Amino acid sequence: MATAFREPNQVKLVGVRPGHNGDQIHEYGTAVGATTVVYTVPADKILLLFGFNLITSCTVAGTASLGIYTAVPALHRYLSAGTVRANFSMTISQDYVVPIEIAAAYSIRAISPAGTLDITACINGILIDA
């Protein structure tokens, strides 16, 4: 579990946020009719995923998805998946109040089916020591 500390009660609000012992991660990747690795968590690190954007545009219908993959690689879980109609665009955005912890050697991948489905995935998080 990530370290956390209490904020000083400066404006009569009390909250908890991750400690500042890591590096901020903002990565993106584009997939056109394939799978692309957006980010792979380095050895001895944990990625606290705070949110993502999945942006698609296409000339044919298809399903765009963003998933977490194990080191093997095998699908661990989907973060998002959506069907896009032909000649339309779709944006899926998700922010997590409690971040998703992603282990070392796991990767986040954008998956686009064969065809002309164009996907761009952006992730935001903090990389901390395991």
Domains, the chain, in order of start with CATH, read 22-129 (2.60.120.220)
pLDDT at 75: 92
The model's pTM is 0.79
pLDDT over 60 (residue 90): yes
Give the confidence band of 13 by pLDDT, cuts at 50, 70, 90: very low
Task: Please state, as a whole number, how many other Cβ atoms lie within 10 Å of the Cβ of residue 128.
Answer: 18
Q: How many residues appear in the chain? A: 130
